[in-house]
Every structure is written in C-alpha cells, then in structure tokens.
C-alpha cells in the first residue's frame, strides 16, 4: 500500500527514462477508459502526467513498476496434522502455534509472526536467510533473501503450502526451514506431504498433464502448448535416473525409435502444439513421463496472454509464471502483469493441480483395492 503520494513530475520522469515501460502505463490507462496512441516515450509522458491519478491508481502503478522485473514462481507441497485436532480449533490455528513455537528456538532463519486471513482459512509468514556468494566482492558476498510462505486450509487436518521464491535455491532453503519446524518424525505434531508427481505410475503422471490441458477456465482459454520435457519414468528405468543430466533438446522433425531413446533420460521440446507432436506420442508410448509443460493462455475478454510452466523437480511441484503479454500495435508484447494478477493465476493452477493429483492418487488406491480383493477371491 502506498504511504507517500508520487508527484506527477516524478511519474513523468519514470516514463521518460523508461524506468517504467510506456506500454505498461498505456495498457493500464486503457482499463480506465483512457486510450493513448503516442509511441515516443517523451511525448507519451507529456500527455499522461497532467492527468490526476488518485492514491489507489498510484499504488497500482507502483506495484506494476515493482513487478516489471520479475514473474511469480511457486513451489507446492502439503502438511498434515498427525492427530485429530481439539474441539473448537482449526488447522490454521494449529500451524500458527507450531510456527510461533519455532520462532522461540535458535535457527539460521528469521521468521516473522504468522498472520491469519480474516476467514481463518489462510496463514502467511515471511522468512529470510543470508545467501553467501563465494568469490564476489566482500560488499556483495552476503545477500539477505526473503521468501513468502502461505498455508491454505484444504481439509480439517491438512493445508496446502505455497512457497514463493526468486530461485530454486530459495525454495531449497524454505523446505529446510519447514523440515526444522516439522522436527524429528517421532516427535513432530505434523508431517510434510510432497506432491511427488513422478512417483505415480507413468499413465497417471501423463494423465495429470492431460487433465490440466483439458481443463476449462472462466477467464482464459488455452492457446497452445509451447514446451514439453519428457523424462524416463522411475518405474521404467530407476537406475538411470539423474536430475542433474542436461536436457536433450529435440526438434519436431525428429522420429523416435526405441534404439534412439536408449541413452536419453530426459528430452526438452520447444515449439507450438506439442501435445499433437508424433515424437511426444511415441515417446510416451515407450514409458516416458511428462515432467514439465508450458501452457500459453489468452484472456477471453482482454487482449492479453500469459505463459505458465508446470514442472516437477525431484519431489516438488512448481508452478511458475513464465511470460505475460499485452497487445500493442496489433501484436503481443511482453509486459509483466501486476503481482495481484500473477497471484490469481498461480492460485488457480495450484488448486487445479492439487485437485487432479488427489483424484489420481485416490484412483490408484481404488484400483489397488480392487486388484487386492480380486487376488484374495482367486486364492
């Protein structure tokens, strides 16, 4: 929230110096019913700065400016209370107490006081740590990184944990923190549950991305699939699994054969409409799974688009905003959405991913029970 009103001359200077992209401001003002056609940044700044903008508008523009250099990245996992909660208490209060108790212990992480939402359905807290950069100038070799962690109630004894971070190293530190809060398995009051998509059988893990691709959303529609990473399944060849292997980038013209795939643990494909690609279909038929997919969506009522990448790294499921676009002069131009808009997209895909994953796991357990009962009947 803005605590100081930005003078219009300062706003004008930001546009002239391209500290904030003119096309971003132009797109924002269009939502307010103001359309500008000037292309030159200086001319546009002269046209815009006399307009009176209130504190709410300037807060939105400030947020837009701050988000211009970054896209939201998230990592998803769950946590579950081991025992039934006491009457008149809820899961959010339970985890608020756990985090508060941890803050009183010595730790390399600084943890802020957790804050509950008004409906008591979400808990948010921030953590920070010092990231060392060996070999750099002494003045910049230590960097304090701050991460936001959200916990959302999904059942009476389970929460969805949403870690927002700038890099994979930040996510690693966040999980270390959660492990410290969890404590030793035989002493902890809750357990972390990883959304480990690659632990599912190949057909189920592929079905996850297929269901996500076919899902319909109220505000946007799928335009195309622009990236797919295929990975040899743990079930098919566990001993060859190696997350550190470099991806083999494969063109759409390549023809797959069993011999050609013999030495490939992972292959990344780029292009459009990849879910129709014959290489993808043949590779999946030979037991590979999809470990990441990049979707590009278009808004139904706005001339805007975005790309979101759903990926699996080890036991973790990541949902990252990859790019966002606004239409400028009849063509899509990369322009980061405000953080609130990016957050809406992340939350929508997190809920969809969790729902699909839960259904697939339940189906596996149901099939196993059916198979088990059939075997007993035969015996």
How much is the pLDDT for 298? Answer: 95
Q: CATH topology for 73-194?
A: TATA-Binding Protein (3.30.310)
Residues ≥6 apart with Cβ < 8 Å to 185: 191
Q: Which residue has the higher pLDDT, 183 or 64?
A: 183
Q: How far is CA 248 from CA 118, 143, 220, 251, 277, in A?
A: 48, 34, 32, 10, 16
Q: What pLDDT does residue 96 have?
A: 93
CA distances (Å), 229 to each of 34, 76, 213, 256, 265, in order? 42, 19, 15, 15, 11
Distance of alpha carbon 208 from alpha carbon 199, whole angstroms: 12
- Tell me if residue 172 falls in helix, strand or coil: helix
Polymer length of the chain: 379
> Is the CB of residue 279 less than 8 Å from the CB of residue 295?
no
Report angle CA 364, 369, 374 to the nearest 5 degrees. 125
The band of 196, judged by pLDDT with boundaries at 50, 70 and 90, is confident
In this prediction, residue 133 has a pLDDT band, given cuts at 50, 70 and 90, of low
Q: What is the pLDDT of residue 162?
A: 96
pLDDT value at 306 more than 90? yes
pLDDT the model gives residue 52: 64
Measured CA to CA, the distance from residue 126 to residue 144 in angstroms comes to: 13
Q: Is the pLDDT of residue 134 over 90?
A: no
In this predicted structure, what is the pLDDT of residue 152? 96
* pLDDT of 191 above 90: yes
Q: How large is the C-alpha radius of gyration of the chain?
A: 24
Residue 199 vs residue 214, higher pLDDT:
214
Please give the Cα distance from 2 to 110 (Å, whole number).
Answer: 26
**Best CA proximity match to 177, nearest among 77, 284, 47:** 77
pLDDT tens per residue across span 144-171? 788 999 999 999 999 999 999 877 788 8
Q: Spell out the alpha helix ranges (H) of 38-123.
A: 41-48, 55-67, 91-103
Q: Do the strands 248-250 and 266-270 form a parallel or antiparallel pair, or are they unpaired? A: parallel
Residue 261 has what pLDDT?
60
What average pLDDT does this structure show over 31-50? 76
Confidence at residue 65, expressed as pLDDT on a 0 to 100 scale: 61
263: CB partners within 8 A, 6+ apart: none
Q: Please choose, from the candidates 262, 208, 255, the residue with its C-alpha nearest in 3D space to the C-alpha of residue 232.
A: 262
pLDDT value at position 369?
Answer: 60
- Stretch 329-339: mean pLDDT, rounded? 80
Q: Is the pLDDT of residue 113 over 70?
A: yes
Give the end-to-end CA distance of the chain in Å, rounded to a whole number. Answer: 68
- Answer whether residue 138 shows pLDDT above 80: no
* pLDDT confidence of residue 374: 40
Each domain of the chain, given as residue ranges in start order, spans: 8-67, 73-194, 202-348
Which two structure tokens, joined as six digits, stand for 369? 């029970």
What pLDDT sits at residue 241?
Answer: 41
pLDDT at 297 over 90: yes
Query: Residue 136's pLDDT band (boundaries 50, 70, 90)?
Result: low
Report residue 166 as tokens: 């700038």
Q: Model pTM greater than 0.85? A: no
**Does residue 247 register a pLDDT over 80?**
no
């Amino acid at each position: 929230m803005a605590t100081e009103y930005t003078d219009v001359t300062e706003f004008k200077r930001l546009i002239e110096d391209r500290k904030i992209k003119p096309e971003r401001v132009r797109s924002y003002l269009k939502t307010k019913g103001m359309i500008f056609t000037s292309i030159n940044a200086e001319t546009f700044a002269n046209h815009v700065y006399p307009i009176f903008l209130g504190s709410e508008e300037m807060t939105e523009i400030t947020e837009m400016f701050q988000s211009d250099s970054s896209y939201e990245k998230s990592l998803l996992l769950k946590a579950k209370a081991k025992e039934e909660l006491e009457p008149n208490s809820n899961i959010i209060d339970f985890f608020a107490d756990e985090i508060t108790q941890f803050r009183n212990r010595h730790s390399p992480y600084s943890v802020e006081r957790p804050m509950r939402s008004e409906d008591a359905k979400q808990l948010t807290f921030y953590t920070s740590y010092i990231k060392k950069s060996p070999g750099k100038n002494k003045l910049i070799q230590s960097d304090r990184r701050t991460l936001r962690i959200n916990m959302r109630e999904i059942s009476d004894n389970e929460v969805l944990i949403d870690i927002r971070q700038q890099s994979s190293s930040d996510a690693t530190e966040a999980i270390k923190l959660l492990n410290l809060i969890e404590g030793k398995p035989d002493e902890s009051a809750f357990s972390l549950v990883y959304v480990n998509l690659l632990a599912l059988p190949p057909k189920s893990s592929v079905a996850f991305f297929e269901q996500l691709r076919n899902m319909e959303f109220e505000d946007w529609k799928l335009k195309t699939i622009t990236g797919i990473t295929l990975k040899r399944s743990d079930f098919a060849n566990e001993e060859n699994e190696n997350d550190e292997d470099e991806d083999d980038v494969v063109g759409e013209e390549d023809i797959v054969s069993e011999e050609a795939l013999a030495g490939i643990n992972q292959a990344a494909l780029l292009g459009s409409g990849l879910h129709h690609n014959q290489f993808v279909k043949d590779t999946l038929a030979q037991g590979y799974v999809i470990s990441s997919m990049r979707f590009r969506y278009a808004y139904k009522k706005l001339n805007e688009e975005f790309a979101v990448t759903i990926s699996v790294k080890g036991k973790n499921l990541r949902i990252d905003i990859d790019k966002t676009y606004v239409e400028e002069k009849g063509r899509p131009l990369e322009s980061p959405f405000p953080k609130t808009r990016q957050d809406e997209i992340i939350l929508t895909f997190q809920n969809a991913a969790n729902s699909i994953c839960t259904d697939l796991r339940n189906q596996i357990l149901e099939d196993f029970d059916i198979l088990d009962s059939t075997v007993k009947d035969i015996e």
